[in-house]
Structure 1
Amino acid sequence: MEGEPEEALAELERRARAYTPEHPRSPERRRLFHDGDGFLLVVDGAYQSYATCFSAAELLDDTDRPPSP
């Protein structure tokens, strides 16, 4: 996304909160942690916990970027 870092972090949080992982199929508990420029979502199932990391990063270079007008 383009915009200010604060906007990117807010969008990342929105996506982390809305994310529904494939496992566990019957979640019992969800915990969302914020750490610096990212989030950690931990979903507990009946037998196991599953973690998903969401990170914000700034693109510094892209060799396949279209030329600027």
Structure 2
Amino acid sequence: METRVMAHVEGAREDALAELEKRARNYCPEHPSSPKRRRLFRHSDGFALVVDGAFRSFGTRFTVAELLHDNAGP
């Protein structure tokens, strides 16, 4: 599993979910190189993108999370 922070959103949870949906819809995963089908699912804390290739499917999960602590923060 690989985890990355895509963005920080100030505001309500709904604002963060709206921004996350835009990013999930536009996300272009490295695999498969020749996608045949894209499906975007909504779940309680974000989205799941499933991209079907010629031989297998690849999934990416997008999750909204509240930042509680950052030791590099102000």
Q: Does 1:64 align with 2:72?
A: yes
Runs of 4+ in 1 over 3 A off after TM superposition: none
The CA distance in 2 between the partners of 1:21 and 1:11, in whole Å, is: 18
CA deviation map 1:3-58 (0-9, x unaligned)? 11100000000000000001111100000000001100000000010000000000
- Name the CA distance, whole Å, in 2 between partners of 1:43 and 1:64: 35
* Alignment correspondent of 1:2: 10
Larger Cα Rg: Structure 1 or Structure 2? 1
What is the alpha-carbon distance in structure 2 between the residues aligned to residue 59 and residue 48 of structure 1?
Answer: 34
Between the aligned partners of 2:71 and 2:24, the Cα distance in structure 1 is: 29
Identity, in percent, stands at 64
- Normalising by structure 2, what TM-score? 0.85
Distance 2:68 2:28 in 1: 30
The gaps in structure 1 that reach 5 residues or longer are none
* Within-5 A mapping of 1:41-60: 41-60=49-68
Counterpart among 12, 15, 30 of residue 20 in structure 2: 12
What is the root-mean-square deviation of aligned Cα atoms in Å?
Answer: 0.7
Where do 5+ consecutive residues of structure 2 fail to align? 1-8
